[in-house]
Amino acid sequence: MGTIAVIDYGMGNLRSVAKALEHVDDRLRVEITHEPERILGADRVVFPGQGAIGVCMSELQRLELRDVVLEVARSKPFLGICLGLQALLEFSDENSGVAGLGLLPGRVRHFSEGFRAAGVAPPGKVPLMGWVPVRQVAEHPLWAGIPDGQWFYFVHSYYVELLEGVTVGTSRYGLEFTAAAARENIFATQFHPEKSQRAGLELLANFTRWDGTR
């Protein structure tokens, strides 16, 4: 029986993520935990999150989880969700500028700043909240069985810029942004698979079978 640790640092829709994982494979043992030894001992790790990046990084430090996240993100099949994607990058403009974990290259920007820089009119309100199609720009095992252009559920005010060689899915909200990123054993999404109905469950099911290789 495989084990999946859902990292609990006080932010994120933890129960919904865990319930979705249990739904796609009832043989799994899914544990919501902040205990380093349990996270390090799991077969797979999910790093969810919602809220502000500054609080996220502070809580990881306070709970002594920063190095744990870095270690499992380098060694196990690892899924980041929403803020769990943004925290993997080098830097976020949120909270007057916050350094991320630096596992993926690039920067997180606010939509309004991106609209101004691109010279485009805002297509709607910020935060982006709702269903948006995702274009698969690179093959990956977690896309298996999911049609290109499938709609997923997003809730965010800050977005990840396009990352050369790392972005594997894009979406558009006035400008094109990274909807999914992957490198080696890491796969991370800006959208919420646990809220994305059948397509989201398919992605989570693929994650439970993924060995962390491309």
Each domain of the chain, given as residue ranges in start order, spans 3-209
3-class SS of residue 186: strand
The stretches of 133-196 forming alpha helices (DSSP H) are: none
Model confidence at 66: pLDDT above 90:
yes
Catalytic residues: 82, 192, 194
Q: What is the CATH number of domain 3-209?
A: 3.40.50.880
pLDDT in tens, 73-115: 999 999 999 999 999 999 999 999 999 999 999 999 999 999 9
Nearest CA among 146, 150, 178, 147 for reference residue 162: 178
* pLDDT at site 114: 96
Partners of 33 in beta bridges = 7
Indicate whether 13 pLDDT > 90: no
pLDDT tens digit string along 109-157? 999 999 999 999 999 999 999 999 999 999 999 999 999 999 999 999 9
What DSSP element (H or E) covers 99? strand 98-99
Chain centroid to CA 21: 15
Q: What is the pTM of this model?
A: 0.97
